[in-house]
A = this chain, B = another copy of it.
Amino acid sequence: MNDPLAHVRDLFDLDDDVVYLDGNSLGAPPRVVAERVREVVREQWGRRLIRGWSEGWWEAPERIGNRIGRLLGAAPGQVLVADSTSVNLFKALMAAVRNTDRAEIVVDAGTFPSDGYVARSVAELTGLALRPAPPEDLDLRDTTAVVLLNHVDYRTGRLLDMAELTAQAHAVGAKVVWDLCHSAGVLPIELDALGVDLAVGCTYKFLNGGPGSPAFIYVPRHGQAAFEQPLTGWTGHEVPFAMDPEYRPDPGVSRARVGTPDIISMLALEAALEVWDHVDLRDVRAKGLALTAHFRSLVEGLPGIEVITPADEWRGHQVSLRHPDADRLVERLAERQVIGDHRPPDVLRFGFAPLYNTFDEATRAATTLKELL
């Protein structure tokens, strides 16, 4: 098949004998990263020592945030790289319900568990109710303070309609927080244009930042003054080095900062993001749909297999299958160098990263699965 991104795979350090279909869990390393982290340690930390902080380290969270913002339809000054997704979600939800007179937080009933745990914690801390609801029937009300939604369902790969659901929330005066973990970098997203209130996401899936690389948070400019979050670490202060005894948050997105940014991982992520300079996001989405359609066509109808990822375009870049032996199948596929993953109890997930996965790989994965069945 025609692949406008075929040249991009060469930017990744991937063994050709492995069919890696777990980039929706941990993206593969862009080639540039290994040497870059060594250089950061040896040349920046080693030679510049503390001076590194005034030579590009301090602003890394905002600088790299802007780079990610370009993939999310967010103008500069609104995306910050910091902490983990769960910590950022805590900030986002706490800020969203601060001073509210509304009674409930609504969360996607099939949410990634961590999001649900954090929402529960925020509800308990603030005295609001937590109401899980299916995205197709959120039943938002004038008592809803905020709704938390996963753009792409981690289990099924279903893609939600961000425009429609954001409008639903706003129609009742509620805020919406989007979790972009499974869509950032591979789906067209227009945070600014849709007026999204807050968003968070990780960078180690399709953004290829590395295992556990720092997460991001989006706080739109018009919401920054009201964004008050309880993790009031010194680096979010308006003048961090003044060592002011009173906390005064930075006026901009930097108020979402907490502790000292983790530079080695940050700059590894920054290096990894360079691959996006070589692609058009529309090509990425088109190839993701084509790859998943191709794989789907090969596995549909295999004995015992049920495809649970939507067949229409409301899907992300994974194909999830249900099979009673999902766990063992994933293991046996791995023995044959086809790497997917398993989500209990019975789901096999195959992620297709348009930047490096090929149609041949999709074919090989489907063929191997067929042989095992």
Cα distance, A230 to B155, chains bound together (Å): 25
Asked whether, in the complex, the Cβ of A117 is within 8 Å of the Cβ of B42, the reply is no
Query: Which residues from B are CB-within-8-Å of A233?
Result: 84, 86-87, 114, 117-118
Nearest CB on B from A265, distance (A): 5
A121 and B264 contact, Cβ closer than 8 Å, known pairs A38-B35, A45-B29, A215-B259:
no
List of B residues within 8 angstroms of A234 by Cβ:
86, 112-114, 117
Residues in B neighbouring A116, C-beta threshold 8 A: 245, 247
Q: Count how many chain A residues have C-beta atoms less than 8 Å from C-beta atoms of the other chain.
A: 81
Q: Most chain-B Cβ atoms within 10 A of its Cβ — which of A51, A84, A204, A339?
A: A84
> Which one of A22, A87, A122 has the greatest number of beta carbons of chain B within 10 Å?
A87
> Does residue A261 face the partner (Cβ distance < 8 Å to B)?
yes
Stretch of A12-20, A184-192, A360-368 contacting B (4+ beta carbons < 8 Å): A12-20
Closest partner residue, chain B, to A115 (CB atom): B234
Which partner residue on chain B sits nearest A239 by CB separation? B344
Say yes or no: B41 contacts A25, CB within 8 Å: no
How many monomers of this chain does the complex have? Answer: 2
A244, B113: Cβ atoms closer than 8 Å: yes
Residues from chain B with Cβ under 8 Å of A52 in the complex:
26, 211
Contact of A20 with B38 in the complex, beta carbons under 8 Å = no
Contact indicator B53/A42 (Cβ below 8 Å): no
**A260/B211 contact (C-beta < 8 A), A38-B35, A41-B33, A49-B339 known:** yes
CB <8 Å contact, A49 and B33: no
Tell me the smallest distance from the CB of A177 to a CB of chain B, in Å.
Answer: 16
A49 → B minimal CB distance (Å) = 6
Partner of A211, one of B18, B53, B230: B53
Given contacts A121-B230, A265-B265, contact A46 B13 (CB under 8 A): yes
Residue A372 at the B interface, CB < 8 A? no
Distance of A167 Cα from B125 Cα, bound (Å): 31
8 A Cβ contacts from A63-120 to B: 83-87, 90, 112-114, 116-118, 120
Tell me whether A344 and B242 are in contact (CB under 8 A).
Answer: yes
Residues of B with C-beta under 8 A to A122: 230
- A120 to B258, Cβ gap below 8 A? no
Docked CA distance A90–B232 (Å)? 9
- Nearest 4 A/B pairs, CB to CB: A84-B259, A86-B233, A114-B234, A211-B263
Residues of chain A whose beta carbon lies under 8 Å from any beta carbon of chain B? 13-15, 18, 20, 22, 25-26, 28-29, 33-35, 37-38, 40-42, 45-47, 49-53, 57, 83-87, 90, 112-114, 116-118, 120-122, 124-125, 155, 202, 204, 210-215, 230-235, 237, 241-245, 247, 258-266, 268, 334, 339, 341, 343-344
